[in-house]
Amino acid sequence: MTTGLFCCSLLHGGDAVPTLLVMNHIGSEPTDLYSNLSADFSSGNFKFNAPEDTFFSSIDSLENPASGRMKMVRALGNEFDADYVLFNQIIDDSSRFILEGQMYNTRSGGMIRRKILDVTNYYKGQMNEMRLWVGEILNTMNKDWVEYRQMILFPDPETIVHDKTPEGAMVRSFAVPGWGQIYSGKDISAMAWFGLESFLATTILVFYSEYDKARKAFNDNTILYEASSEQYEFDFYRVESEKAWQKHKDYNNYMIYTAATAGTFWIINSIHAYIVGPRPKKDIIQKWDFIPPEKFQEE
């Protein structure tokens, strides 16, 4: 991990020339970072130094992030005769990187601006994003930097039509349990959901079969009861009718409870399909074999 800092004179109108002290803490710092920034913002008077390590502790862990470094910022302002402090750090995260920028007023010591950018790595992307951030602060933006990012990344990811979506997975699982999981490439969970719903459906059919048998038995015994002429026949068919009636009621309830369970799991299956459904990436590369403009290759 390397650290560095430079001072840049800013012209904010009139005769006042406030000084901006910029500190960088970068995981895989481009060797040409400072020289490029010096060239990009040629009006600046740049100086480099190593800041204190305590400055790199997480600001979000402080009770009040905006004012948690007041003493340190004021001390830096006095030491370097700066009006503002701009702290930048870049953290590599696999195929992505995170750029965080914090701007402080050395008179009050408070943070007046903050930026956190999580973006896909692209060719000289860290250098370009640093330019965009510093240019935004200095109100000195080069259209080439903006166009370069747009050449690599889609400017409006929300407009991209994706082949697979969480909604598509949910609709499919609502139609056929497990289909949404197959659509999302979750074959094991797809088999589990389909198997569960198949088991419940089979159970309902078994209960219906028993219910239908009990209903028919009740009707048959009722007819025989009414046609009986002997007391023992009356007693026998009455008992059989009562048994059939009770079984008919029980299996009817079993069907209702099992159907309710199946319906509940059906809905849960659709929700699960949405949760595990395919998600679009935060940023999508337009061209995997992209060749940057010659002027960027030469830097």
Query: Tens-digit pLDDT profile for the chain (299 aa)?
Result: 444 555 554 544 444 557 878 888 776 555 566 677 777 876 655 556 666 666 677 888 888 888 888 988 999 889 888 888 888 888 887 778 888 888 899 999 999 999 998 888 888 888 888 889 888 887 788 888 888 887 766 656 666 677 888 899 999 999 999 999 999 989 999 999 999 999 999 999 999 999 999 999 999 988 888 888 888 888 898 899 899 999 999 999 999 999 999 999 999 999 999 998 887 665 555 444 455 556 555 55
- Note the pLDDT of residue 2: 44
Distance CA 238, CA 199 (A): 36
- Note the pLDDT of residue 14: 47
Distance CA 268, CA 246 (A): 33
Sheet holding 96-105, edge to edge: 2-9, 19-26, 84-93, 96-105, 111-120
Distance CA 26, CA 12 (A): 28
**Long-range contacts formed by 10-17: CB under 8 A, 24+ apart:** 10/44, 10/83, 10/84, 10/138, 11/43
DSSP H or E stretch at residue 233: helix 231-275
- Note the pLDDT of residue 28: 58
Query: Distance of alpha carbon 172 from its chain centroid, rounded?
Result: 22
Q: What are phi and psi of 149, to 5 degrees?
A: -65, -40
Output the six-digit token pair for 282.
């935060």
**Tally of CB atoms within 10 A around 156:** 7
Distance CA 299, CA 296 (A): 5
Query: Distance of alpha carbon 8 from its chain centroid, rounded?
Result: 37
- Note the pLDDT of residue 284: 52
Residue pair 48/34 in contact (Cβ under 8 Å)? The answer is yes
Distance CA 85, CA 5 (A): 10
- What's 124's DSSP letter? T
Distance CA 175, CA 233 (A): 52
Residue pair 10/138 in contact (Cβ under 8 Å)? The answer is yes
Give the pairing type, strands 84-93 and 2-9.
unpaired
- Note the pLDDT of residue 50: 63
